[in-house]
Amino acid sequence: MVFNEPVEGIGDATVVILGRRHASDYETEFDFIECIADHVVARDSTIEIIDEIEFINTLYPWFEPRTAPLRPADIDRLVQQKPVAEQLANLKLEYMIWVDGSTVQTNSAGSMTCGVGPGGAGCFGFGTWGNASDYEATIWDFTDKAEVGRLNASTSGQSYMPAVVVPIPIIAPVQGTACDGLGDQLLQFLSSEH
């Protein structure tokens, strides 16, 4: 869902992509957020994305999991803090994109036995497991203090590991596919070239 798409890209403003980490049972992975940012910048180098860790450190402690804003209306509370308002002005922040979700192992089956003997080492068996990724990106327009879009990517896949002497993993790129999907959707929103 996109409510208010920019008509000519974002110009010289910046974007930050942040992972939600306030849930007790999972955290959005830092490497997934970095993957999305790399995907967007690789396809449109005019978009300036602020590194997540750098952003969190610059605005410490206001974007730590316990203090991070949960709604666009919470931005007013943040900009009342003079140091926060100054840092955000320096960053020229236009969009704040919150990514919430994770990749989980859904099932596993099979067995594998490995051994070492005088003649060498080896393994025998077969294993399989499933992974599922489900991520949602919420786009906040920082200037208007409003939510302007919501994007979603869900993927699943089955990985295999046969072993006759040497285990050979065949890994399903579940998280990478979700990264590409969410990155492409963000490009359609942010880029003047798409």
Read off the tokens for 6.
């920019």
Mind listing the pLDDT tens digit of every residue in the chain (194 residues)? 666 666 555 667 889 999 988 777 778 999 999 999 999 999 988 889 999 999 999 888 888 888 888 888 888 888 888 888 888 889 888 889 999 999 998 889 999 898 888 888 888 999 999 999 999 999 998 878 888 889 999 999 999 999 888 888 998 899 999 999 999 999 888 876 65
Assign 53 to helix, strand or coil: helix
Predicted local confidence at residue 4, as pLDDT: 62
Compute CA distances 29 → 54, 57, 175, whole Å: 16, 17, 10
**pTM of the predicted structure, to 2 decimals:** 0.83
Assign 93 to helix, strand or coil: strand
User: How many residues would you count in the chain?
Assistant: 194
Instruction: Indicate the helix (H) or strand (E) that contains 58.
Output: helix 52-58
The DSSP bridge partners found for residue 180 are: none
Predicted local confidence at residue 67, as pLDDT: 83
Q: Are 132 and 101 in contact (CB under 8 A)?
A: no
Predicted local confidence at residue 23, as pLDDT: 74
**Angle (deg, nearest 10), helices 174-190 and 30-43:** 50
Q: Are 92 and 108 in contact (CB under 8 A)?
A: no
Residue 15's closest CA among 61, 70, 55, 58?
Answer: 55
- The CA distance from 69 to 64, in Å, is 9
Residue 172's closest CA among 133, 126, 123?
Answer: 133
